[in-house]
Amino acid sequence: MLENTNVKTLDKVVVRFSGDSGDGMQLAGNIFTNVSAGLGNQVSTFPDYPAEIRAPQGSLGGVSGFQVSVGTGVHTPGDSCDVLLAMNAAALKQNHRFLKPGGVIIVDIDSFRESDLKKANYSTDRPFEELGIKAQILEVPVTTLTKAALAESGLDNKSVLKCRNIFALGLVCWLFDRPLEAALHHLHGKFAKKPAVYEANAKVLQAGYDYGHNIHASVSTYRIETEDPKPGIYTDINGNTATAWGLIMASEKCGRPLFLGSYPITPATDILHELAKRKDLGVKACQMEDEIAGVCSAIGASFAGNLAVTSTSGPGLALKSEGIGLAVMAELPLVVIDVQRGGPSTGLPTKTEQTDLMQALYGRNGESPVAVVAPATPTDCFNMAFEACRIAVEHMTPVILLTDAFIGNGSQAWRIPEADEFPAINTPDVPAELLADGSWRPYMRRENLGRYWPQGGTEGATHRLGGLEKDAVSGAISNNPENHEKMVMLRREKIARIAQDIPELEIHGNADADTLLVGWGGTYGHLRSAVEELNAAGHAVALAHFRYINPLPANTFDVLRRYKRVIVAELNTGMFADYLQCRIPEKRIDRINKIQGQPFSTGELVERTLKLMED
């Protein structure tokens, strides 16, 4: 039978869900991702949606997409997809270029009427020929079949149409042999308080699956390889949620309650939403009236002895800059999360970039050094949120955590760690003997130059802090020139010494390579995939990926000097390359840059690296 002879077995496959902004592509994609992660597949996702709150229905500007790669050896959502689901004509036009040659396109043919084609700016009534599509095309009357499945449901027409995405999900689950039980579990969680809506979606999910099975659709079906994961409890998690959970773990490990003072901003708002749910763990999450209030409330909470955090994106980081300077002067632990997006100003609020690096490093008045760290993947957001808190507390400094829209919204399969897998955070409480004999002063230093952190209400630890320069020991206001220079150098050296407390830079790829590809933050998956492809093709390339930006790992410049050619790839005009170049001027640093609001593709990294290697 056809269904037995047209099965492709692949290490990994890529599916792209696309439709109108109201078609539920993010929900369908997330459920498919969760189901696949539960089967032991590695997953990587890329939600790609427009900035417009609601563009005209059926228009090119209103198309929303969700791409996911599932299987083994998955580091990225994929450059192109094996299967494209297009819920309307505009979605097909915007996304057909992502389909691999010979791939599968599933369309809701009910949304390809003359009026739909006109809205999507087609010039003919033959969209597939007009776009030059050469693929396996499955034309499915999704809207008609959804209405038929729910004819007796009692739902109004608008509610029925909202279930079209779940019918399509059922068809995709058939195509990839995904169990419906797991999908039903996620639907039940989504609509637990709306049983009629759950029943409707459960019915159309089964209808979509049965449609694919019953017609023995003449397109390729897929079997995806799995691997034996490390034992534990796994879940699909996006970067923003992982960030929130990492902060909670840090709060537990340092013994101080977690406080978040934040103002909603795309794409960081989900961190506020997630922490607002965690009152059961003692989390205090406050939505403030603006960005400045967000950072100032966190500074106040830190002074009172809380593990204090504020979250934002690029424009909000600019507004918080004076407040961060206050935390530098007061030498208080503070974690500032910046989920980077396209700029400047409002820029591209739903798109990804790495263009806030220089703002994080230098975007404050005066000599105002802070630590800067950057997670590499959605799941690494948990680790680096924890690490940002550890550095902030143990070194008594603000720390900026630079994630980005790609990893903040993107997701991976994640093994939930045990508490003992993370170290205790050594909270620098004031020693009892210093309080007992009255010798404690606010700016007394520990070995790492961090000061002590008295908890609010501690007897004998009454003190004041502010934005004016402080005496090096007493903390009293000081205008003394020599004292000011001393304090500037102390704050600078305190950040530099963090290098003694972070891991050294690791090298991946070919150990004998003379070309080093360098990246930082959320570009890791694409860079690693590019290095693997280059080495498989016989080109000796290594990868150095930075998660610690300020200070840099202690061995950074020894590593860079070992390679004949160093190439830095980043989603900006070359900020990290400039940062490295000014510290190692004798070393030529080549650059691969992209500023399009989109992540790198593995293919373009391979192509541009090879071009630089030929020069």
Domain CATH code at residue 312: 3.40.50.970
Identify which has the larger pLDDT, 538 or 233.
Answer: 538
**Could you tell me the residue range of the domain that residue 301 belongs to?**
235-421
Considering the domain architecture, whether residues 49 and 13 belong to the same structural domain is answered as yes
Does 304 reside within a domain? yes
Mean residue pLDDT of the chain comes to: 94
pLDDT of residue 219: 64
For residue 467 the two structure tokens come to 């934005």
Indicate if the pLDDT at residue 557 is higher than 60: yes
Average pLDDT over residues 56-70: 92
Q: What is the SS3 assignment for 532?
A: helix
Per-residue pLDDT averaged across 168-174, rounded? 95
Does some domain include residue 426? no
Residues 294 and 353 in one domain: yes
Q: Considering 399, 421, 443, which residue would you say is the last residue of a domain?
A: 421
Q: Are residues 244 and 360 in the same domain?
A: yes
Domain end position, chosen among 224, 256, 289: 224
CB 279 within 8 A of CB 247: no
**Spatial distance between the Cα atoms of 263 and 291, rounded to a whole number of angstroms:** 6
Is 206 a member of any domain?
yes
| 230 within some domain | no
Give yes or no: residues 311 and 259 share one domain: yes
* End-of-domain residue from the set 364, 386, 421: 421
Looking at the structure of the chain, the number of domains it has is 4
Q: Same domain, yes or no, for 261 and 366? A: yes
Same domain, 481 and 544: no
Q: What is the pLDDT of residue 202?
A: 96
Residue type, 107: V
- Residues 314 and 411 occupy one common structural domain: yes
* 81 contacts 72 by C-beta, under 8 angstroms: no
At 355, the amino acid letter reads T
The percentage of the chain sitting over the pLDDT mark of 70, rounded to a whole number, equals 96
Domain check: are 481 and 542 in the same one? no
Q: Tell me: do 270 and 338 sit in the same domain.
A: yes
Cα separation of 64 and 128, whole Å? 20
229 domain residue, yes or no: no
pLDDT for 111 equals: 96
The answer to whether residue 385 sits within a structural domain is: yes
The tens digit of pLDDT for each residue in 16-47 reads 999 998 899 999 999 999 999 888 889 999 99
- pLDDT for the residue 511: 87
Q: Confidence class of residue 235 from pLDDT cuts 50, 70 and 90?
A: confident
- CATH number, domain at 30? 3.40.920.10
In a shared domain, residues 466 and 412? no
The per-residue pLDDT for 104 is 93
Q: Is 135 helix (H, G, I), strand (E, B) or coil?
A: coil
The pLDDT of residue 7 is 66
User: Whole-model pTM?
Assistant: 0.93
570 and 610, same structural domain?
Answer: yes
pLDDT at 1: 28
Say if residues 335 and 251 touch (Cβ distance below 8 Å): no
Closest of 584, 525, 563, 547 to residue 42, by C-alpha = 525
Asked if the structure places residue 427 within a domain, the reply is no
Give strand pairing partners of 13: 70
Core vs surface per residue 487-526: b (16+ CB within 10 A) or e: beeebeebbeebbeebeebebbbbeebebbbbbbbbbbbb
Mean pLDDT of 254-278: 97
Q: Per residue in 103-122, pLDDT tens?
A: 999 999 999 999 999 999 99
* Cβ 204 vs Cβ 170: under 8 Å: yes
Q: Which CATH number fits the domain that encloses residue 538?
A: 3.40.50.920
Taking the CA atoms of the chain, what radius of gyration do you get in angstroms?
Answer: 26
Is pLDDT above 60 for 602? yes
